[in-house]
Amino acid sequence: MDQRRPREKKQTKKGDLSTTRPPVLFFILRPQPKPENAVTIAVSTRVLFRTEREQKVFERHGVEEYLRYQIQHENEPFAPGPAFPFVKALEAVNSRLRQLYPQSEELFDIVLVTYNHAHVGIRLINTINHHNLFIERFCMTGGSSPIGYLAAWHTDLYLSADAQKVREALAEGIAVATVFMPEKQTEVSESQLRVAFDGDAVLFSDESERIFKAHGLDKFFEHERQNEDTLLDHVTCFLEALGKLQKKFYAKGQRLDCPIRTYLVTARSAASSGLRALKTLRAWGLEIDEALFLAGAPKGPMLEKIRPHIYFDDQMFHVEGAAEMGTIAAHVPYGVAQKRQAGKRDRRN
């Protein structure tokens, strides 16, 4: 069932488009999991790599000059972008999973999604090899929207730099967030993936929050119970996917040495909503490793200590605050995230 695609390797050997690092390296004995079995993370070029200079060429001089520029510079790798440490950490988790479960397809699978023309693929492949990334799935749409492909890939999470595309993906029920480049970048672990989530409107729907505010805790829990199968917001599905992979480590006695760690970081107080949040997660069968109720204290300094590879929040105020302190933060558009991502939730180990 080898689904590897022998495509880019041939392209780089054409004519004078020689490369210093032929992409043959990234086909080595890595059968790809089927998308329906993997935890599929789609990332755009602009969040995985730094492409600001190229963006400027495109905006000032148009697509033809942009393509010419990319071909002229195709042996120069792009620098790492905001999602780069996250992707490296996903790969570190995959290495541990492959050691423990050599035959399992329950791995992270990374898809590079780009609006670029296929010509730019050579530079992207050179960059991926330069940074020793193992990304074999590309989605190069030549200017068209890739949103339709995301569903076909069974995408569990799509990270983009383009807020408009994020809204389009949300409308299709894809779990998605806009990633921002922090002004300074806090150093993060290379061996343990750390993911932090805001609570309200990220893990918990705003509908539940409205019921809680209007009618109190008892009505809230009644609503939760009645909607147990439908309450999951899209980013919550990603937390669920992380939890399933965590359990594979626990099953091998590696709970204390698990390479995935999750955090709830909410501005609310433990007294007002801590019980509700923790009970809701338990009712959904989800675990969170650490829960921080800040009771109005700013999130940035706490995130600086946690050093997550990514932090999800629905309020730009918090996203900007986190980014200012060096955390890679992702914005989840508030109130649109009601559609449950179908299909993957019922998957079991």
Within 8 A by CB and 6+ apart from 304, the residues are: 186, 325, 326, 327
In the bound state with Mg ion, the residue whose beta carbon lies nearer, of 57 and 201, is: 201
Cα 93 to Cα 299: distance, rounded to the nearest angstrom: 26
49-50 vs 79-80, strand pairing mode = antiparallel
Q: How far is CA 38 from the centre of its chain?
A: 13
Number of residues that bind Mg ion (CB under 5 A): 4
Nearer to Mg ion, 151 or 270 (CB): 270
Rounded to the nearest whole angstrom, what is the least distance from the CB of residue 94 to Mg ion in the complex?
30
How far is 173 from 154, CA to CA, in rounded Å?
11
Q: Tell me the C-alpha to C-alpha distance, in Å, between residue 60 and each of 68, 78, 138, 141, 186.
A: 14, 20, 27, 22, 32
- Interface residue with Mg ion among 8, 156, 198, 233 (CB under 5 A) is 198
According to CB under 5 A, which residues from 251 to 310 bind Mg ion? none
DSSP 191: S
Residues 54-83 that bind Mg ion (CB under 5 A): none
Stretch that binds Mg ion, among 163-171, 184-192, 199-207, 286-294 (CB under 5 A): 199-207
Nearer to Mg ion, 136 or 200 (CB): 200
- Using DSSP's 3-state secondary structure scheme, residue 204 falls into strand
Q: How far is the CB of 202 from Mg ion (least distance, A)?
A: 5
**8 versus 200: smaller Cβ distance to Mg ion:** 200
Q: Which of 109, 156, 198, 314 is catalytic?
A: 198
Using DSSP, state whether 155 is helix, strand or coil: strand
Q: How far is the CB of 209 from Mg ion (least distance, A)?
A: 9
Does 201 contact Mg ion by CB under 5 A?
Answer: yes
Distance, CA of 4 to CA of 59 (rounded, Å) = 35
**Binding piece for Mg ion, criterion CB under 5 A, among 29-37, 190-198, 221-229, 241-249:** 190-198
Which of 200, 224, 233, 240 is close enough to bind Mg ion by CB under 5 A? 200
- Taking Cα atoms as reference points, which of 86, 15, 3, 83 lies closest to residue 51? 83
Which CB sits closer to Mg ion, 147 or 332?
332
Confirm whether 206 is a catalytic residue. Answer: no
| CA distances to 4, 237, 264, 296 from 267, in Å | 45, 22, 10, 5
Instruction: Give least dist CB 266 to Mg ion, A.
Output: 7
**Which residues of this protein are in contact with Mg ion, per CB under 5 A?**
198, 200-201, 314
- Active-site amino acid positions: 198
